[in-house]
Structure 1
Amino acid sequence: MKVLTARKAQATQDGAGVKINRIAGFDGKSLDPFLMIDELKSDDSGDYMAGFPAHPHRGIETFTYIRKGGFEHRDQMGNVKAIRSGDVQWMSTGRGVVHSEMPLADAVDGMHGFQIWLNMPAKEKMRAPRYQDSAVTGVKTVETAQGVVLRALAGDWHIEGQTVSAHLQGLAGDGALADVVMPANSKTTLDLSEHGKALIYIHSGNLLDERFGQMIQLTLDPTEPVILESGAHGVGLLVLAGNPINERIAHMGPFVMNTQEELHQAIRDYQQGRFGDIV
C-alpha cells in the first residue's frame, strides 16, 4: 500500500450546532470526485440532537451511512425515511433539493455516522434530483477467511479474490464506498485499480502502522494493491474510490457549481422558492 498523503479530520460544527469531524476537499483536487467527509461520532446526545433543520443543496450528491443511532430524512420530493444503523442513503441533488435530517427519538445511546459529498459533473448539475436508500434492499456483506468484513455501501468491490456489487450504483465520478472492519492482527488486500482516486478514513482502532489511527484520512495509490494490516485492537475504516471529474469548482455553503454566476443563480432560485418546500 502506497500512501500519498495523510490528513487528520478537523473538529467543527454544522446544522444546528451538530459536532462533527471533517475532511474538506473543495479545492477540486485532493478528494476529487469527493468534496467532503464528515464523521459524526458521539455518545453525548447534546452533540447531535439539534440535528440538521431544513436546508437546500444544488450541484452535489450526498451519501449518508449510519453505523449507530439514526436520523429521519425529509425532503421536498415527498421522501420521509428513517435511516438507522447499517443503512445508507444517496441523494443526487441536481438542480435543487430541500431536506432535513433530524435524530430519531430512540437514538439516545450515541450516534456514529458519515455524510459524504460528491461533486456532480457540470453537464448533470441541473438535472432532476434523485433519491435512494437501503431500507428495502439492505447492504451486501462479504467476509474473508481472516474474518475481515466488507460492507459494500456503493459501487463494486474486489477483496481477496471475491467481488461484490452494492445495490447502490451510479454515483457521480463512479463513486464507490465500503465499510471494512478488521479483527486484531489481520490482513487483507483490496483491488482499487479500476479507479483513479482511492481514499481511506479510519473510524475506529488503528492500522498496524500506529501513525494511522482514528480520524486519519489517507490518500492511496490505486495502481498498487491496497494491502491493509490491522493493529492489536483491530481497525474499522471507510474506503472511498472514484474517478476524478477534473472540473472547476465554485463553492458556497450547500451549493457547488462551476462558476460564481451559477452560485449566485442558485441562491436566487432558492430565495424565490424554486427548490420547493418540505411538505
Structure 2
Amino acid sequence: MSIRAVKSESHARPTMEGAGVHLHRVFGFGDPTESDPFLMMDDFRNDDPAKYKAGFPWHPHRGIETITYVLAGEVEHGDSLGNHGVLGAGSVQWMTAGSGIMHQEMPRGNAAGQMHGFQLWANLPSSEKMTTPRYQDISGADIPEIVDDDGTKVKIVTGEFWGKRGPVDGIAANPLYLDISVPPNTTKRLPVDTHMNAFAYVFAGAGRFRDASDPVGVLVEKEFQGEELNLRDMTGNRTLVRFDTGDEITVTAGPEGVRFLLVAGKPIKEPVAWHGPIVMNTREELMQAIRDLNEGTFIREGATGI
C-alpha cells in the first residue's frame, strides 16, 4: 500500500453567486485538469438569511452533473422539466444536466437561521454530454453510515467504501464521495483507488493529512470562535487538500477532531470548453449551446422529469 502525498493545500475564497448568495469557492474556473473529472466546488454556509435567501434563480446547465449536499437548513428546487422538491438536512441531490436543463435552487435556513451545504460540479465525458437529464434525490436516512471501532464515522454518498456502497448510482465518473469524521487525536488510513484523482475538504476541526514519516510541515489558519489560530502541521476549516497518486490517504485528527469530505474520481482526460454552467468539449459545441439558449431550443424534445 502506498500513502498519497499532499500535492497542495488552499483555502476556500469568499465570493457571491446567484442573486447574491455569500459563499466560499473551494476551487473552480481554473485549470480543469487539476481536479478532473471535477470542475468546481462551493461551500455555502451562513447564519444570516439576508446573505443567502435570494438564492439561485433560474439558470441553465448542460454537459455536467451537479451534486448538492445539505448539512443544515433546506434547499427548495424546481426545473424546466416539472420537477420540484425540497432537500432537507443530510440529503443529497445528484443532477445529471446532460443535454440541458433550466433550474433554480432557493436555500432556506433552519429554525436558528443557519444554512450549510456544498455543491460540486462533475464533468461528463463527450459520449454522455447530450444524455437525457435526470435527478437522484437521496434523503439523509438513506445514506449509509459506518462507525469504526475507534469512533471514526463515514457517510457514503456514492462509491464503495469499507464493504458498503452509497445510494447514488449510474454516475459517469463512478466517483467516491464520503463525509468523514475522525475523533480527536486519532490517526486513520483510508483506501482510495489509485487510478482516481482525490481531494479532501476540511469543514470542521483540524487534522494532518501528511504521512507521519513525512518531515514536511505546513502552517495553516484555522477559524475558531471568530478568531484565527495557527496550528502547526494542522489543516483547518475551509481548506482544500489535493493528493498525489497512491492507494491510501492518512489523516491525524487534531484535539477537536476533524470532519471533511473525501472525493475521488477517474479523470476523463478530454478537452474542456467552459462558459459558466455550460461545459462542452469544443468551442463550436459551446457556441451551439449559447445559440440554443437564445433561440429557445436549449431543452431538447423528449426530455422528461425523473
Q: Which TM-score applies when normalising by structure 2? A: 0.85
C-alpha displacement at 1:177, in angstroms? 0.6
Quote the Cα distance in structure 2 between the aligned partners of 1:33 and 1:13: 24
Quote the Cα distance in structure 1 between the aligned partners of 2:242 and 2:110: 36
Aligned to 1:10: 13
Aligned to 2:52: 48
Aligned to 1:184: 184
- Superposed, 1:25-104 pairs within 5 Å as 26-104=30-108
Quote the Cα distance in structure 2 between the aligned partners of 1:144 and 1:51: 38
C-alpha displacement at 1:227, in angstroms? 1.5
Q: Which moved more, 1:81-90 or 1:192-201?
A: 192-201
Q: In structure 2, which of residues 260, 263, 267 is the aligned counterpart of residue 244 of structure 1?
A: 267
Partner AA of 1:274 in structure 2: T
1:203-222 deviations in whole A, cap 9, x for unaligned?
11110464411111111134
Quote the Cα distance in structure 1 between the aligned partners of 2:140 and 2:237: 31
- Superposed, 1:114-125 pairs within 5 Å as 114-125=118-129
Aligned to 1:202: 202
Aligned to 1:127: 131
1:69-95 deviations in whole A, cap 9, x for unaligned?
110111122211110110000011111
Quote the Cα distance in structure 1 between the aligned partners of 2:299 and 2:109: 27
Quote the Cα distance in structure 2 between the aligned partners of 1:236 and 1:16: 30
Please give the secondary structure, in 2, of the residue aligned with 1:174.
coil
CA change 1:236–1:176 in 2 (3 A) is: same
Please give the secondary structure, in 1, of the residue aligned with 2:254.
strand
Partner AA of 1:11 in structure 2: P
Runs of 4+ in 1 over 3 A off after TM superposition: 104-108, 208-211, 275-279
Quote the Cα distance in structure 1 between the aligned partners of 2:262 and 2:187: 15
Q: In structure 2, which of residues 243, 265, 287 is the aligned counterpart of residue 220 of structure 1?
A: 243
Partner AA of 1:117 in structure 2: W
How many residues were matched structurally?
Answer: 275
Contact 1:26–1:249 (Cα < 8 Å) also in 2: no
Aligned to 1:167: 167
Please give the secondary structure, in 2, of the residue aligned with 1:244.
coil
Instruction: Find out whether 1:148 has 2:171 as its counterpart.
Output: no
Partner AA of 1:74 in structure 2: G
Please give the secondary structure, in 1, of the residue aligned with 2:163.
strand
Aligned to 1:230: 253
Please give the secondary structure, in 2, of the residue aligned with 1:264.
helix
Q: Which TM-score applies when normalising by structure 1? A: 0.92
CA change 1:61–1:67 in 2 (3 A) is: same
Quote the Cα distance in structure 1 between the aligned partners of 2:233 and 2:70: 26
Please give the secondary structure, in 1, of the residue aligned with 2:14.
strand
Q: If you compute each CA radius of gyration, which structure gives the higher value, 1 or 2?
A: 2
Q: In structure 2, which of residues 18, 23, 41 is the aligned counterpart of residue 20 of structure 1?
A: 23
C-alpha displacement at 1:105, in angstroms? 6.8
Quote the Cα distance in structure 2 between the aligned partners of 1:105 and 1:3: 35
Aligned to 1:272: 295
Contact 2:143–2:156 (Cα < 8 Å) also in 1: yes
Quote the Cα distance in structure 1 between the aligned partners of 2:167 and 2:254: 31
**What is the root-mean-square deviation in Å for CA atoms of aligned residues?**
2.1
